[in-house]
Amino acid sequence: MKGKLANSNQSLDIEDLALTNSTKNSESSINPSIQTIELYVEKDGDRLDKWLSLQLPDISRSRLQKLIESGNLSLNEQVCPNKKTKLKIADRLVLKIPPPTKLDLQPENIPLDVLYEDEHLIVINKQVGIVVHPAPGHPNGTLVNALLYHCDNLAGIGGVERPGIVHRLDKDTTGAMVVAKSDLVHQHLQQQIKAKTARREYWAVICGSPKENKGKIDLPIGRHRSDRKKMAIIPTEKGGRDAITHWEVITRYGNHTLMRFLLETGRTHQIRVHSTYLGYPLVGDQLYGSGGSLKVNLSGQALHAYKLTLQHPITEQIIEAIAPLPNEFSKLLKVLKNRQ
């Protein structure tokens, strides 16, 4: 089923990127904190919540269901709280998205490894074990808390919950991340990632040795059906979202390989899911593989955002930030080399 999105500027992936604000119509201008999205149905078909999740893939289906049940969706000018409602051609839907609950974020003096910084943006080398933004189980001690201490003008940029965050890395993934210091820069950087003009290069050590030297993985990713902590290969018709990863062998170490991964999309756990699906789990990845049998103490998976290339939104100059490999990653490569 297809739908038409009117008067809206959809947000990017909320699992990998911070939310952007939708264009607001006259009703939301009364309360500018409310996002309003207007859609029209072009074909008969699915139940309401499923159709919405296909039209608005940047919002999780569970959140859409909660918005519907709480009376934030109107169908043909009438509030529709039933997520199972069947849609018809020419139906008009108006979805109101209330602002996120404001978090009491406190600046914390947590050291940052800064790769580049000016008055518009900052690129940091994220360390292993640090969560990007507060979430259940991680109310403080996050990268956002550290950034609020380091940058005194960051609060509220791009959203209250994730100020300045353009994209994110998993807790145990290290490497280069860019953070915006103004809404204009934040929007520009998000558009670069969406348009694939920003280049994100990751290095990883996998278990196994692919026959080819390079390739492309084009497999949709969605939430695992039984284990909600994991992602999985899910067909798009069942809620999976397009995910494209390019890979290339850097060095082979017997039954292990140092790989270069380039992302076209930014789905949660994308590299880990794609590589594991092909039979090559990342060394140290306890969630998607056994973690490997190497006698090297790793704090997480051997995955590092090695290089980030983007255009500066203000000066238009190309910034290429390289994050040095963490000590654990370098030690792992030495062990593999000595085993040959």
Catalytic positions: 170
Tokens of 39: 């859609």
Q: Scanning the structure block, which residue is given the tokens 């103004």?
A: 182
> How many residues are there in the chain?
340
Cβ–Cβ under 8 Å, residues 123 and 116 = yes
H helix or E strand, kind and range, residue 305: strand 303-311
Cβ–Cβ under 8 Å, residues 268 and 207 = no
Question: Is beta strand 318-322 parallel, antiparallel or unpaired with respect to 303-311?
Answer: antiparallel
Tokens of 15: 């699992």
User: What is the spatial distance between Cα 152 and Cα 148, in angstroms, rounded to a whole number?
Assistant: 6
Cβ–Cβ under 8 Å, residues 227 and 286 = no
Cβ–Cβ under 8 Å, residues 203 and 275 = no
User: What is the spatial distance between Cα 183 and Cα 157, in angstroms, rounded to a whole number?
Assistant: 5
Tokens of 290: 């056994």
DSSP states along 175-229 = EEEEEESSHHHHHHHHHHHHTT-SEEEEEEEEES--SSSEEEEE--EEE-SS-TT
What's the CA dihedral at 50, 52, 57, 62 to 10 degrees?
-60
What φ, ψ does residue 27 adopt, rounded to 5°? -65, -45
CA torsion through residues 272, 275, 281, 282, sign? negative
Cβ–Cβ under 8 Å, residues 96 and 8 = no
Cβ–Cβ under 8 Å, residues 313 and 120 = yes
